Structure 1
Amino acid sequence: MNTELFISRRLFFDKANKNLLSQRIIRIALAGIALGLAVMIIAVAVVTGFKNEIRNKVVGFGSHIQIVNYDSNNSYETQAVSENQAFLPLIKTIQGVEHMQVFATKPGMIKTDEYIQGIVFKGVDTDYNWEFFSENLQEGTLPAITDSGRINEILLSEQVAKLLNLKLNDKAVFYFINEKEVIPRMLQLTVCGIYRTGFEEFDKLFIVGDIKQIQRLNNWRENQVTGFEITVDDFFQIDNIEQQIRNTVIQFRDEDSEILRTQNITRQYPQIFDWLSILDMNVWIILILMVMVAGFNMVSGLLVLILDRSTMIGVLKAMGSPNWSIRKVFIYLSVFLTGRGMLWGNVIGVSIIIIQKLFHIIKLDPASYYMEFVPMNFSLLHLLFLNLGTITVTSLILIIPSWFIAKISPEKVIRFD
């Protein structure tokens, strides 16, 4: 039988202690632990949710990995490549590759009677995965792209629609300029759908339509495209998968074909992903501070417990109990009390996460945060690690104040009592 654990449990469940001053002080310490753990849970949920949302939106506009012409720079005016490539079947077999599709981009302007706005026309084909835009579609339908002929339908953002006073089924005039051409080329396209992602930097830029329109604007053949977009099933394996794709592309290159290169979304938009990586440092600072607060709260609580139970300590010493055995009693008791505070911290943190996920109570300015409400990412793994880390660190910290038990003299505390 574990005597120390038995004694600590009796002290923990003893109802006679509830009216003692020490118990009120301990309740304050437990409130600090509960608040600290709740803050840690919410902070991790917010930051991971924010990163996931931003990452998914950037990937939604451009996929994880692209294969493009080596001569294409970082602008949206690109050099054509053939969509008939020998390496395509092999890339689809690479582990982690989820989907592959062709695309083309063309910068231009959209003009109405009163306003003008620069845009990027993204052309897609029948193999395009519309899941991202389906989730963010506000009005209308997606462009009904077919193999039979060009369609004049486009999908544009709610931001651009409001800026240019365009509504569903309105016709808009687009202007595109080719190299070595003085007169711009003009397209009249119909707004078939309006989307809103909240990522204003991209919403005000991209319109989506038939890739055959871009092929006609650029005088490309029907099998020429800007490149290939590839999505993967694990974002954190993107570098490894890109390396395998690059090796495959190089392996099939011949002297008569264009030179191709690969690029992943983190290199295409480094400023966004560098910004997201900085958020990790903020989370670690919050976690360290909150664990320190929880630890010091329980240190003060343990010292109060030791002072309050000094007579009991003296009696146990007089009966022959070693210092380490008595220390274990108070460490066990402190762990039980910490667990109670952590229980309430979990309830508070998880409740706030669920309420925010369901009702989106806390709003954000999309112009500053790229989304309309605070995102929450609830992960049981994160919850487990936070609880284990808190109880482990707090328990280790509690060993230090328990040394005061060794300085208590049985003769003095029993005589004083």
Structure 2
Amino acid sequence: MNTELFIAKRLFSSKDQNQRMSRRIVRLAVAGISLGMVVMILAVAIVTGFQREIESKVNGFAAHLQIVNYDSNLSYQTEAINKEQGFLEELKAMPQVKHVQQFATKPGMIKTDEDIQGVVLKGIAPDFDWSFFDANRVAGERIALDSLRTNAVWISEQLSNLLKLGLGDSFRMYFLNENERVPRIRQFEVKGIYRTGLAEFDRMFMLIDIRHLQRLNGWADDEISGYEIFMDDLEEVDNAEFKIRDLVLAHLNDEDSLLRVINIKRKFPHIFDWLRLLDMNVWIILSLMVLVAGFNMISGLLVIILERTQMIGVLKSLGAANVDVRKVFLYLSAFLIGEGLLWGNVLGILLGLAQHYFQIIHLDPASYYVDTVPVNISVLHLVLLNIGALLVTMLMLIAPSFFISRIAPEKTIRFD
């Protein structure tokens, strides 16, 4: 039987009215631990939620990786490649790859009776994955990409409000190619409206039949801007990029256009650098909260030791070594920390779930890329937070527990 653990359990469950002051101080320390855990849970959940939400939206517009003509720069006026590529079957069979689809982009100008707006048309083909835009659809239906070229387009709710365009409305667009002085004019019809909350992209992108862009650019039916590659996990993108680059080069022929692979992180570095910067903020918050919890428990432990000096003297007089007495109070501290962590987890998870399901706190999407605070509660994060907080706090209590060795039993037993 573990005697030290047994004594600690009795002390933890004791309702001794003579220790009212110490119980109040200890309750405050436990409350501090609970509050710190709530802050840590919400900080990690909100930051990881931001990262996942924004990453998924950026990837929904531009994919994790793109294969394009080597001569294409980072603008949306691209050089054509042949859509019949020898590496496609091997690419689709790679375990990291979730979906591959062809695309084309072209900048243009929308002109209505009252407004004018520059946009980027994204050409889509029958292999287009609609899951992202279906999840963010406000109104309308998918563009039918059958044998006939369609004038239907999808625009964002932001563009719809800005240009006063609703479902079924028609509008004109103007395109200017290199070496052409007279712009080309096309008329389109709004078939669908989406809203992602990513204002920078909502203001820019429209979905359109890829055959319009092929004709506007003077391309053949088998020419496109490139291929978009979607992955199951953003963390695999860097490794997959090198493998896909080797695969593309292995199938390169002398008559083929030179291709390159573009990583989404390098295409939009300002967004991903900002997301990585949030990790530093989380570590600062976690460090501060754990330190506060540790100092709260140090004060609580010292108060308990002072009020239990007579008990410490009795245990020592019965032959208990200093290390054994220290174990009693460290076990007691672990119980108190566990109680604080338990209530902190309950409150933190409830607040996180309330924000997730009821979207209580709203944000300005122009500044934060989302319209509500996203929350991602992960079991792994909860386990790591609790284990880390318990270990660090217990380590901080080891040094104050040595105060017990300075208590002399012959003095404390006589003290009433």
In the alignment, the residues of structure 1 paired with residue 100 and residue 242 of structure 2 have an alpha-carbon distance, to the nearest angstrom, of: 16
2:93 corresponds in structure 1 to 93
- Pick which of 69-78 and 13-22 moved more: 13-22
In the alignment, the residues of structure 1 paired with residue 193 and residue 368 of structure 2 have an alpha-carbon distance, to the nearest angstrom, of: 21
Deviations 1:281-311 (A, max 9, x none): 0000000110101111111110000001000
Q: Which amino acid aligns with 1:123?
A: G
Q: Which amino acid aligns with 2:226?
A: G
Checking the alignment, whether the CA contact within 8 Å between 1:34 and 1:346 is kept in structure 2 is: yes
Deviations 1:22-60 (A, max 9, x none): 000000000100000110000000000000000000000
1:202 corresponds in structure 2 to 201
1:409 corresponds in structure 2 to 408
Deviations 1:103-152 (A, max 9, x none): 00000110101100000000000000010000000011121112x12100
Instruction: Say if 2:132 is the partner of 1:132.
Output: yes
2:175 corresponds in structure 1 to 176
Kindly report which structure 2 residues correspond to 1:369-380, keeping only aligned pairs within 5 A, or say none.
369-380=368-379
In the alignment, the residues of structure 1 paired with residue 360 and residue 191 of structure 2 have an alpha-carbon distance, to the nearest angstrom, of: 32
Checking the alignment, whether the CA contact within 8 Å between 1:124 and 1:208 is kept in structure 2 is: yes
Checking the alignment, whether the CA contact within 8 Å between 1:17 and 1:23 is kept in structure 2 is: no
1:219 corresponds in structure 2 to 218
2:393 corresponds in structure 1 to 394
- Pick which of 378-387 and 85-94 moved more: 85-94
Residue 203 to residue 25, structure 1, CA distance change in 2 (3 Å): same
1:358 corresponds in structure 2 to 357
In the alignment, the residues of structure 1 paired with residue 18 and residue 58 of structure 2 have an alpha-carbon distance, to the nearest angstrom, of: 55
Deviations 1:318-359 (A, max 9, x none): 111110000000000000011101110001100001111110
2:34 corresponds in structure 1 to 34
Residue 222 of structure 1 deviates from its aligned partner by 0.4
Q: Which amino acid aligns with 1:305?
A: I
Matched position secondary structure for 2:385: helix
Unaligned runs of 5+ in 1: none
Residue 94 of structure 1 deviates from its aligned partner by 1.4
Matched position secondary structure for 1:404: helix
In the alignment, the residues of structure 1 paired with residue 255 and residue 395 of structure 2 have an alpha-carbon distance, to the nearest angstrom, of: 67
Unaligned runs of 5+ in 2: none
- Provide the TM-score with structure 1 as the length reference: 0.99
Residue 414 of structure 1 deviates from its aligned partner by 1.8
In the alignment, the residues of structure 1 paired with residue 348 and residue 142 of structure 2 have an alpha-carbon distance, to the nearest angstrom, of: 39
- Provide the TM-score with structure 2 as the length reference: 0.99
Checking the alignment, whether the CA contact within 8 Å between 2:102 and 2:127 is kept in structure 1 is: yes
Matched position secondary structure for 2:93: coil
Matched position secondary structure for 2:99: strand
Instruction: Say if 2:298 is the partner of 1:304.
Output: no
2:72 corresponds in structure 1 to 72
In the alignment, the residues of structure 2 paired with residue 239 and residue 95 of structure 1 have an alpha-carbon distance, to the nearest angstrom, of: 14
Residue 16 of structure 1 deviates from its aligned partner by 2.0
Checking the alignment, whether the CA contact within 8 Å between 1:70 and 1:259 is kept in structure 2 is: yes
2:10 corresponds in structure 1 to 10
Residue 396 of structure 1 deviates from its aligned partner by 1.0
Residue 416 of structure 1 deviates from its aligned partner by 2.1
Q: Which amino acid aligns with 2:85?
A: Q
Residue 18 of structure 1 deviates from its aligned partner by 8.0
Matched position secondary structure for 1:154: strand
Residue 93 of structure 1 deviates from its aligned partner by 1.5
Matched position secondary structure for 1:104: strand
Checking the alignment, whether the CA contact within 8 Å between 2:126 and 2:145 is kept in structure 1 is: yes
Deviations 1:54-87 (A, max 9, x none): 0000000000110000000000000000000111
Checking the alignment, whether the CA contact within 8 Å between 2:19 and 2:307 is kept in structure 1 is: no
1:314 corresponds in structure 2 to 313
Kindly report which structure 2 residues correspond to 1:123-162, keeping only aligned pairs within 5 A, or say none.
123-146=123-146, 148-162=147-161
In the alignment, the residues of structure 2 paired with residue 139 and residue 60 of structure 1 have an alpha-carbon distance, to the nearest angstrom, of: 18
Matched position secondary structure for 1:20: helix
Residue 270 of structure 1 deviates from its aligned partner by 0.7
